[in-house]
Amino acid sequence: MLSLYGVNQAQVQRYLSARTEKEAVRSCYMAFPSLQLALALSCMMGLVMFACYCGEDYSEKLGRSSRDAMVIYFVMDMLQGLPGLPGLFVACLFSAALSTISSAFNSLATVTMEDLIKPYFPSMSEGRATKVSKALAMSYGLLCLAMAYVTHLMGDSVLQVALKIFGMVGGPILGLFCLGMFFPWANSIGAIAGLVAGLAVAFWVGIGSIITRISGTKLLPPSCHINTTAVIQTALSNVTSRPTGLQRFYSLSYMWYSAFNCSTVILIGLIISFLTGPMKEEEATPGTIYPLLGKLLCFLPEHLKKKLCCVTPLRQSIADQQRLHSHKESNGGASFQHTPSQEQTECFLSEVDSRVVERETSV
């Protein structure tokens, strides 16, 4: 949830569309109860499906369809006496999926344009940029179709594969943001090395688990009556025959992918940062670091926290501003007044929009 609602581009783009920060935070508080309600309804639907079809062999009814088609079969079976309602359910299902996918395509196209294409082609016209953005969205759509086909070959449920892939990618990104926000001594070399190492480990574990099929889902038992003795014997056999070596490494549950990859990025990033020279407190940008260690180690003396760089650089910047302000007042403001020359003014106005200059001057 942290990687999904904290550092995901699609979510952050929605936060930035809010008018104020309070509205963005309020949207999170409104989304979390709705999400829990949707998850509870999904779990209840699964329990009802299990009670309804328990002990039946539905492989002939579904044909060669995936097990994910069981939901559609359940809706068509239960609501077949109500004309139009099964179609309405399917239409709502696809419309919700398409709305989420379209926003993701737009986010990917926007990030690619702003961070990878425009820095190298700054003179690109608006019309050409729009065409390139649409082409990027279509390319990501084709890639999504290819990923859907690969997911179909995996045999696992769509939800499990989606969470597995998102944990492989979202976990390292969450670790990168946590490394930059909570650890002041992390430098850029350590951040890049940690991100690369986290992605490498994530894809290693994810692809290895898919190939070895260790973490694949298991089919439901054909009978509703559970034999307690058989269950205990199966559990004991699983304990005695645990996977060893790389297979045990690949057997990591997909629910732990995000946390494991996030921890990998933070650990590798800190090690590389200390080896290459940690960032000093005065070098950090003011207001970009949350003093997490300073709050956790509040029992330590102030000089030790200072040595551990647990103090937020925002305090240092405020102190510097206060000293500058007092120095300006003591000198009557004369030493800080500087009138630009005519050449400097013409050079500045040739590179910046005049409306921006007027607005900034008035402020």
DSSP symbols for 63-131 = TT--GGGHHHHHHHHHSTTSTTHHHHHHHHHHHHHHHHHHHHHHHHHHHHIIIIITTT-TT--HHHHHH
Read off the tokens for 109.
């196209």
Query: For residue 250, which of 293, 215, 284 has the smallest C-alpha distance?
Result: 215
- pLDDT tens column, 280-295: 777 777 778 887 777 7
Q: Are 202 and 257 contacting, i.e. CB atoms less than 8 angstroms apart?
A: yes
Q: What is the predicted pLDDT for the residue at 214?
A: 45
> Got the DSSP string for 260-304?
HHHHHHHHHHHHHHHHH-PPPGGGSPTTS---HHHHHTTTS-HHH
Confidence band of 263 (pLDDT split at 50, 70, 90): very high
Q: What is the predicted pLDDT for the residue at 86?
A: 87
- Residue 302's Cβ-side half-sphere holds a number of Cα atoms within 13 Å equal to 1
Residue 138 has pLDDT above 70, yes or no: yes
In this structure, how many other beta carbons lie within 10 angstroms of the beta carbon of residue 103? 15
Looking at the whole model, is its pTM more than 0.75? no
Lowest-pLDDT range of 155-159, 164-168, 206-210, 218-222: 218-222
Mean pLDDT along residues 101-121: 87
Alpha carbon distance 274, 193 (integer Å): 12
Residue 216 vs residue 111, higher pLDDT: 111
Q: Per this entry, what is the length of the chain?
A: 363
Read off the tokens for 247.
């297979």
Q: What is the predicted pLDDT for the residue at 78?
A: 86
Q: Are 170 and 258 contacting, i.e. CB atoms less than 8 angstroms apart?
A: yes
At residue 216, what are phi and psi to the nearest 5 degrees? -75, 155
Mean pLDDT along residues 47-63: 76
In this structure, how many other beta carbons lie within 10 angstroms of the beta carbon of residue 300? 15
81 vs 44, 74, 75, 84, 86, CA distance in Å?
22, 13, 11, 9, 9
- pLDDT tens column, 314-334: 444 445 555 555 554 555 444
Alpha carbon distance 112, 177 (integer Å): 19
Alpha carbon distance 297, 313 (integer Å): 17
Most confident by average pLDDT, 19-28, 146-155, 320-329, 354-363:
19-28
